[in-house]
Each structure stands twice: as structure tokens, then as C-alpha cells.
Chain A
């Protein structure tokens, strides 16, 4: 459980997940920000106003219909708490995560890890882009991984072989 060991339960995850219909339309942000912390770059980075917050310490709220899947919030979040999930394609789901490690090659096969760090499936690196963090001086690499259908809510990291 999160308060004990930093691992979210299935309920925690489902409470943050975009509706299945929205995921079928294409990439959409999922904000796994659990705690009321003094922080707001996600709100400021979003070009469509999809993310809102009542006060600096409130938990961010997202309007999935306004989200265009641009990933700017993914690059801006200092907690690395936001990712894109996408189940619009037949050949597999896609997850796009911020990745601050030596970058993998496009086409590379990797082991996909869940919230607990357990290997749950194989994935293929599909895309690596660099998007600006809020201060614009810094760029965050964002890696899109193709994972088996149905795994978008579970894959959160990957390990190179």
C-alpha cells in the first residue's frame, strides 16, 4: 500500500485511470499523483487547460476529454508521476513514460515492470522524444513502449536486456 511501502493498490490505480473509451481514442495522460504536496507544474504546462487544482497543495484533477495527449505535463512533472496511456491500436497498447536513464534504441525489446518493479511482460521501444520541462531550459526524454493489449494500466517502467 502506498502509505506503507510506496506501491499503489489496484483500486488506487483504477481511481486514476482514464475511462476505457477515452483510451481507445488515443494517447491520454494518467496522473499518478497521490498526495497533497505543494506542487503545480502539471497545471501550468498543459496547453488545453485539462489539468486543474484548487490550491497549490491540492491533488491535480484532469478532464480526460480536454486532454490531447501532447505529453507536455509528462515532461514537466518533477515527481515523474504522469504518463500517457493509449489503447487505440490493435497490435498492442502504448505507454509513454519520462525516462532519465541512458536511452534505449527504437525497436529494442525490453522487459516491462509494474508498480512493484516486477517483470510482467515484454515490450518494444517505439519512440523516444525530448520535450521541454517547465523552465524550457531542460528537456525530459519520454519513451513510448509498445506493450501487449490490456497492459497499459500496469506497465510503469522497463529494464533493458
Chain B
């Protein structure tokens, strides 16, 4: 198959990239490895922050449906579901695997919007049934309508951990504790935390999980307070009667496709670890490859969508199509406003490092 633009990943970033590239007149193939569009958003039943005029106050899942409709209605976009991009071949083909079948796609421009993966907990027994990533639990709950257990320990009190605690309580489960190694709240919005505190869900800061008991399934988890060197303090252990442990200690960009295609990666912990060097126009060090969304650095759905729009429009522009430069400037401006919040200090620091690296390499 030939196409002007291949978009890999059908989350907020990929859907918006496809829409903008198609709007400028490019032919677009959008591949998504799941059987549905939406990415992480299909699991988000809570209402989003942001501009009311642009969908804030709307539940993530509804935003996903609106974008998916716009993608499906666009005649320039071909959507391939249950299709995974597995890599770039020497002849310039991007190989897509669709239910066992290999489809080579020859694109002029590639936008990588594959999202992120959850970090795992380096502790013994963290691989027994009953220990899951927060994202996996959300998928079971919201996509398949099942709960893996009844009594939960949540490790990590960032936005994802505290939102999961709330969603679990809504689903009728008991959240025995949320623990975090930090001495005080890090990235979590206080309003998300107050929501679970007033329900009586215990939050233990400066705590970690030190032991998971169980053989076939989690039977209990022991938490303990930690000192400045993150070592457990003897005598502070508490054994919790839980059957499920949710890990939400952070995300890191999925970079294997970029790595394989030769995109330069750089270590920026504030953005989630290894991230692709890219400009504000979402161009990478590899001509013709663009990135957007969590795959380019961990942020949010609202920022992922804006980055997707920029990547889609810039890719179209690089193809020689006409795009409205003022649109691109407006999206950059909106990104700037969203990133302006005082609690995003660390993120801004990470982005600064990234933009310096992009400048050094002369990326526009």
C-alpha cells in the first residue's frame, strides 16, 4: 500500500494527526493495534480538565468517541484496526501485521504516536497473578466490565494512581491503601487526591510495598515507611489484606519503533525516560519521521491531541500541501498555556532540555 502519511497509533495524538494531515489533503493510513480507536482515553471515565470550550468537563471516553467519529468520517483516512506496526524494512516499507498477515506500507511521511508503557515494580513476586499495571486494571474495568479483585493496594500516588482509586471505589471495590515513596504529593492534582481522602481511602506517603505474599494469587501485601535513602524503617511494617495490587509508578514512552528506524533518543527523566529528540514542530532527527503524544514525552491527552494536530499539519506542509500556519501557531500557543501551570515546573524543565537538544541538532 502507498500513502502520503502513515500514522502509527490511534490514541488522541494519532487520531488528531490523521485528521489534520487529511484535512490538508494528504492520503492517510492510520494503524492501531487494538480493535478500536481511542488509546488510553477509552479507559478514562472521569471528566477532564482544560478549556471548557475545548472539551474540558467531558469524560475522556466521550472525547475519544468524538475524535474517532471524525477520523472514520474523513474520506482521505484509511483506518486499519487490530494492526500493529512492527518495523521499518530496508526498502522503505513499514511492515504492518494484521491478524497474522503482513501488509507493507510505503509512506512518504510517518507520524509515530504509539503512546507509553507502564513502569514495573522491581520487587520479588511482582509477577504473580493479582499484581497489575494500573492501565491493565482500567482496561478490565472499563473495556471488559470486570474487576480482577475486591481488595486493592495501589502503589504510586500520581494522578493515575489516585484516579484509579476513585474508579475502583465507584466500581464497588475496597481500596485498602494508596502508597507513595515521596514525602509529599508529587504530580497529582490535589482535587483528585481530596476526592479519595474524603471517602476515607488511606494514603501513606513515604511508604512502599516491601513484600507481596501469595503463590497462585496475591494473598497480602506488606507496606513500610521508608527513610531518606528509600530504605524501609524496621518496625513500621503493616500487612494489608489485599487480593490485588495496582502499580502506577509512572510511564515511559514506547520507543522501540523509533529506535529501530534510527530516530535519535535522549534520556530526560522529567519526560518519562528515553524520549525522541524532536522540535516544537514534532520533527525528529530522521527526515520524514514525526512524533506526537506520550510517545514523544509523557504528558496528557489534551497536550497529546495538540501535538498530534501539529505533527499532522507539519507533515502535510512538508509534503508541499497548503496548511494554515496560523493554526499551527495557535496550537503551539495553547500547548504553552496548558504547560504554564506552576505544578508543571518539572515538565517545563524537561521540555527545555529537549528543545535545547533539538536546537543543537538544527531541528526546525
Distance between Cα atoms of A39 and B190 in the complex (Å)? 13
Distance between Cα atoms of A43 and B51 in the complex (Å)? 10
Contacts of B183 in A (CB 8 A): 4
Contacts of A39 in B (CB 8 A): 49-50, 56
Contacts of B56 in A (CB 8 A): 39-41, 78, 134
| Contact A35 B189, CB 8 Å, known A4-B183, A78-B47, A134-B56 | yes
| Residue B197 lies at the interface, judged by CB distance under 8 Å to chain A | yes
Contacts of A57 in B (CB 8 A): 337, 340-342
Distance between Cα atoms of A43 and B53 in the complex (Å)? 11
Q: Which of A5, A78, A137, A159 contacts B48 (CB 8 A)?
A: A78
| Residue A133 lies at the interface, judged by CB distance under 8 Å to chain B | yes
Whether B205 and A4, one on each chain, are in contact in the complex, defined by CB atoms closer than 8 angstroms, is yes
| Contact A138 B198, CB 8 Å, known A2-B190, A6-B203, A34-B191 | no
Whether A117 and B200, one on each chain, are in contact in the complex, defined by CB atoms closer than 8 angstroms, is yes
Task: Give the distance to chain B from A28, nearest Cβ to Cβ, in Å.
Answer: 20
| Residue B193 lies at the interface, judged by CB distance under 8 Å to chain A | yes
Q: Which of B51, B192, B194, B302 contacts A7 (CB 8 A)?
A: B194
Size of the chain B interface, CB-CB below 8 angstroms: 42
Whether B57 and A41, one on each chain, are in contact in the complex, defined by CB atoms closer than 8 angstroms, is yes
Task: Give the distance to chain A from B173, nearest Cβ to Cβ, in Å.
Answer: 12
| Contact A81 B191, CB 8 Å, known A100-B170, A138-B62 | yes
Whether A38 and B340, one on each chain, are in contact in the complex, defined by CB atoms closer than 8 angstroms, is yes
- Of A80, A101, A159, chain B has the most CB atoms within 10 Å of the CB of A80
Distance between Cα atoms of A26 and B13 in the complex (Å)? 46
| Residue B1 lies at the interface, judged by CB distance under 8 Å to chain A | no
| Residue B70 lies at the interface, judged by CB distance under 8 Å to chain A | no
| Residue B151 lies at the interface, judged by CB distance under 8 Å to chain A | no
Interface residues of B in 192-217 (CB under 8 A from A): 192-201, 203, 205
Contacts of A101 in B (CB 8 A): 169-170
| Residue A45 lies at the interface, judged by CB distance under 8 Å to chain B | yes
Nearest B residue to A3, CB-CB: B184
Whether B62 and A44, one on each chain, are in contact in the complex, defined by CB atoms closer than 8 angstroms, is no
| Residue A157 lies at the interface, judged by CB distance under 8 Å to chain B | yes
Interface residue stretch chosen among A17-25, A84-92, A108-116, A121-129: A108-116
| Residue B52 lies at the interface, judged by CB distance under 8 Å to chain A | yes
Contacts of B188 in A (CB 8 A): 6
Q: Which of B50, B191, B193, B205 contacts A38 (CB 8 A)?
A: B50
Contacts of B53 in A (CB 8 A): 44
Whether A40 and B51, one on each chain, are in contact in the complex, defined by CB atoms closer than 8 angstroms, is yes
| Residue B286 lies at the interface, judged by CB distance under 8 Å to chain A | no
Whether A38 and B198, one on each chain, are in contact in the complex, defined by CB atoms closer than 8 angstroms, is no
Contacts of B51 in A (CB 8 A): 40, 56
Contacts of B117 in A (CB 8 A): none
Nearest B residue to A43, CB-CB: B52
Q: 18 A–B contact pairs at CB < 8 A?
A: A2-B190, A5-B184, A6-B185, A35-B342, A37-B341, A37-B343, A39-B49, A56-B338, A57-B341, A57-B342, A78-B47, A78-B56, A78-B57, A116-B200, A133-B47, A133-B57, A137-B62, A157-B200
- Interface residues of B, Cβ cutoff 8 Å to A: 46-53, 55-59, 62, 169-170, 183-185, 188-201, 203, 205, 302, 337-338, 340-343
6 closest Cβ pairs, A-B complex = A117-B200, A6-B193, A79-B191, A78-B47, A134-B57, A44-B52
